[in-house]
Amino acid sequence: MKSSHLPEIDTLSLKEQIAQMVVVRASGYLFDHEIKYPQWESPAAKLQHLISDLGVGGVILLGGSAAELALRSQQLQSWAKIPLLVAADIEEGVGQRFSSATWFPPPMAIGAVAQKNLDQALLYAEQMGAIIAQEALAVGINWILAPVVDVNNNPDNPVINIRAFGETPEIVSQLTAAFIKGAKNYPALTTAKHFPGHGDTAVDSHLELPLIPHTEERLAEIELAPFASAIATGVDAVMSAHLLIPAWDEHLPATLSHKILTEQLRHKLQFEGLIVTDALVMGAITSRYGAEETAVLAVEAGVDILLMPVDAETAIEAICDAVTSGRIPPERIRASVERIWQAKGKVFEEHRSTGAQEHRSTGAESQNSPCPLVPLSPCPQVPSSFYQIAQPASFETVDRILRDSTQAFGSLPLRQEKLINSRNLILVDDLLDCKYLSRQAPAVTIPQQLGYRTQLGDSRSNLPIIPSGEALQPTLLQIFIRGNPFRGSAGLTQVVEDWFKTLLTNGELQALVIYGSPYLKNQFLPFLPPEIPCISTFGQIPTAQAIALEILFANNPSTR
C-alpha cells in the first residue's frame, strides 16, 4: 500500500466499487504450505489476484503468531491499490487467534464480575477494549470483529455461550458500551454482533438455520437493547446473524432480509455505520441459497460488506449483473462505498493524525486507568511497534479478571493425604485442536509435580472406564468445554458425562475443575457431595489453569 489516500468514488468502475464491498478470508501465515483451511483461504497467487486485480476491500485473518501477522498484514496492504480493511475475530484479544499476544478470558467472565461489582466489571471491559484495539493496530489489524453483544439467555446455546458478556440485557448493554469506549481510544473499528441477537438459540448457525420465535416486544426488550447501547456508544459496524425471525420476516434470514437490516437496523435503530454479514460460507446460508443469489439478496437487504462469500469473483459478478439489469439501483452500491470510505478514513487518516499523540497512561497507572497502555506510535512497523504487544499491564488485567470471576465450592483446599496414587484425568472438546493444552500447561504440570499420573481424553476417546470395585484410584477430573462454532454443542459430551457418573459412583472423584462453560458447573453441583472440591473458571488459557489449581492446592508448596 503506497498511500492511505482514498480515491474519489466516481473514479472507480461499478465492478471496482462492488469489489470494495467484499472481505475475503486469508491465512495469517506467510507461506502457502502453512495454510490450515484451504477450503476458505486462498494461496498467495490467488489472494494477490483478489486484492491487486479484483480490488476486494478487505481481508479477515486467522492463524500465525502476532509477529508473523505484523509482516503478513504489511504484505497484504502492499498488494492493495486502495487500503484494506484487515479484520479478525479477536473477541478475547489478539492472542486468541495469534499466538504471543494478550489472550483474555471470555467476556462472560467480566459479566460474572459485574454480578458482584459492576464498577470493577465496567473498568475491566473498558481495559479489554483498549488493549485489544492497541494490540490489533500493532499487528496491522484495523477492524475488530467484537464485541459480541448477544444476550446468552439459553444455557443450551452451542455457539454464543461464554462469548457473551452475560444473560441479561442490562449487563450486556453496559459492558458492551464500556468495551467500545475503551477501543475508541484507538483508530480501530469495532463491531457489534450478531444482529438482531443470537443468544436464545440451541442451534449453531454455522451448521443450520436457527429460528427465533419471539414477538417484536420481546425482541425489543431483550435482544435489541445491547445493540441500541452499542450504537449509542459509537460502534462502527454491526454484523448480521444467520437467523430466521418470523416476527419480522417469515421467509428470509436476517442477513438477507431488507425488513430486518434496513427497516429495523437502519431506520428504527438509526444505525449509520457499516452493516457486515456473518461469514457467508456458514451452513445456515450455503445450504439454502446459491452463492450468486446470496450475494445479491444481501446487498438488497442493506448489507455494506459481504464477509467470506463462497466465491468472491462470482459474488462480485452477480451483483454487477443485478445492477446492470436494474434489480439493484446503482445508488445502493454508492451508499455502501461511501460508508466504507468513511470507515477507512477513520482507520487510516485518524491513525496518521492521532498516532503521534501521547495516549492515556503507562502501566504504572494500570490499577485505576481504563487504558493502562504505552503510547501508540505514528505508523506501526515491525519491530518498533512490537513493544505494544503483551505488556505486563495487560497480563495483570487478565489475571485480575480471572481471579475475580473464578468460583470455588466444596471443601478447600484439597488435603495432601488425598494426593497419593492419584490420577489427573483431563477431558477436552478436541485433542487435535487444543491451543491451551501442552506438556507445559499448568493443568498438566502442577498435578504432575504433586505425583499425579496424567490421562487425556476428548469427545472421540474410548477410554476404558473401570467398573466399581476394580483397581480404584483417586481422580482429579479437569474438564475443558465451551461453546465452539462448527461443533454444534456446548453441553456435556457423552464421554464427560460417563466419566463423571462413574467416578462419582465408584467413590474415585477427588476434585473437579471446570474450564469454560459455567452451565456444566450448574449441572454437576447438585450431585457433588459437599466434601468434594469444585473449581469453575470461564477461562481455558494457561493463566486460568494456574489460578484454578492454585485455589485447589492452596496449602501445597508445589503450587506456589
Alpha-helix runs per DSSP H in 80-234: 94-97, 107-116, 118-138, 169-183, 216-218, 225-233
Catalytic residue among 194, 198, 206, 242: 206
- Joined grid coordinates for residue 278: 456473518
Please name the residues in contact with 364: beta carbons below 8 A apart, sequence gap of 6 or more. Answer: none
Catalytic residue among 150, 204, 278, 304: 278
Q: What is the dihedral of CA 2, 374, 163, 99, to 10 degrees?
A: 70
| Number of CB atoms found within 10 A of residue 100's CB | 17
Please name the residues in contact with 251: beta carbons below 8 A apart, sequence gap of 6 or more. Answer: none
Closest alpha carbon to 495 in 424, 430, 401: 430
330 close to 14: Cβ distance less than 8 angstroms: yes
Pairing of strands 534-537, 407-409: antiparallel
The position carrying cell 454443542 is 489
CB environment 218-249: b (16+ within 10 A), e (fewer): ebbebbbbbbbbbbebebbbbbbbbbbbeebb
- Joined grid coordinates for residue 554: 492452596
In this structure, what DSSP letter does residue 538 have?
S
Asked if 49 is an active-site residue, the reply is no
Asked if 278 is an active-site residue, the reply is yes
Q: How far apart are CA 188 and CA 147, in angstroms?
A: 13
Q: What is Dmax (Cα atoms) for the chain?
A: 80
Closest alpha carbon to 182 in 393, 370, 360, 401: 370
Closest alpha carbon to 155 in 143, 144, 142, 164: 164
DSSP secondary structure letters along 307-362: ES-S-HHHHHHHHHHHHHTTSS-HHHHHHHHHHHHHHHHHHHHHHHHHTTS--SB-
Q: How far apart are CA 191 and CA 418, in angstroms?
A: 49
Q: How far apart are CA 218 and CA 100, in angstroms?
A: 42
Q: How far apart are CA 77 and CA 4, in angstroms?
A: 10
Report the chain's terminal Cα–Cα distance, integer Å. 50
Q: Which residues are the active-site residues?
A: 206, 278
